[in-house]
Structure 1
Amino acid sequence: MQLFSTFEHTVFIEMAIATIEKKGIKRENIFVVPLDNRKEQHKVFDSLHRSDGTSLIDIGAALATAFAVIGASIGFELAWGPIYWGLIGAFVGFMLGFAIRVFTEVIIKKKRRLLKGFHSELILIVDCEDSQAEMIENILFGHYALGVAKVK
């Protein structure tokens, strides 16, 4: 049976390997593979096939509504009238909200995306007997494995 587990690159992987070796698994049956993590930047704009669930127009829609009401109210006293000033206010509000949202996604959340979450950096493969699988799985989870899978 083979056990596959993923780890962050920490001292716990070394401790897990040492513990597994103490339990009778030979070094030849333990294999560690480093992963190459994604280095390209995340895309801000969604495509037809990929969406990150973040809306860029939510603040724009709210500000467009608010600016349209204000523009229409003020437009009663201006030369072009309330309809034109309401449309101008809606356009300005939408563009302002869209610009705010793009700024927060590109500048502010980029820093959070780099710091947030766990990233698998190593895969540990252990070849063992079926009777040892449960013990090794407990050892791996005890040493902070991100995930473990068994394959017969």
Structure 2
Amino acid sequence: MSMQIFSTFENNIFLEIAISNLEKIGIKRENIYAVPLDHREETRKIFDTLHRSDGISLIDIAMPLATASSVITASLGFELKWGPIYWGLIGAVGGFMIGLAVRLLIVLITNRKTQQLKGKQSEVVLIIECEEEKGELVEKILWEHLAIGLAKVME
């Protein structure tokens, strides 16, 4: 009975050594497939949608700044012509706009840098077709040569 083993690797020398060791135990070169993965290169979106969120909040600076500035301007409004309510609202809107502008500036500056994933990245998918008897040995070789992940499919 035949089986397929799928594994992912970083693109380094351990992948080449693993392929060489698989050939040494009798797996033909035609039964080993190495497929490189393409990585996403699009930039992050600033505004979230209903179906996708990147976890960055644009109002996390704006809301506290709006609150603080509305309290300050409302207390100053007792001595100004329009009174504390109007000046409190003016301060809230102004503080919110300043906080939003600061946060947008921070996001746009950090968005220029390339965002890399933390930890190991899969760069190559290795697919091996072998007999079921050799499956355990193939799996052992792949784990010894730093496979990131592994899956088996019986045919």
TM-score, structure 2 normalization: 0.85
Alignment RMSD, CA only? 2.0
Give the partner amino acid of 2:148: L
Alignment partners' CA distance in 2, 1:128 and 1:117: 30
Instruction: Single out whichever of 62-71 and 36-45 deviates more from structure 2.
Output: 36-45
Instruction: Single out whichever of 60-69 and 129-138 deviates more from structure 2.
Output: 129-138
Structure-2 residue corresponding to 1:85: 87
Query: After the TM superposition, which segments of 4 or more aligned residues of structure 1 sit over 4 Å from their partners?
Result: none
Task: Please show how residues 109-124 of structure 1 align to structure 2 within 5 Å.
Answer: 110-111=112-113, 113-114=115-116, 116-124=118-126
Structure-2 residue corresponding to 1:5: 7
User: Aligned pair count?
Assistant: 152
Q: CA deviation at 1:138?
A: 2.8
Q: CA deviation at 1:135?
A: 2.6
- Which runs of 5 or more structure 2 residues have no equivalent in the other structure? none
Structure-2 residue corresponding to 1:131: 133
Give the partner amino acid of 1:43: K
Give the partner amino acid of 1:105: V
- Which runs of 5 or more structure 1 residues have no equivalent in the other structure? none
Structure-2 residue corresponding to 1:18: 20
Percent of matched pairs sharing the same residue: 59
Task: Indicate if the aligned counterparts of 2:43 and 2:111 stay in contact, CA closer than 8 A.
Answer: no
Instruction: Single out whichever of 61-70 and 140-149 deviates more from structure 2.
Output: 140-149
By percentage of residues, which structure has more helix? 1
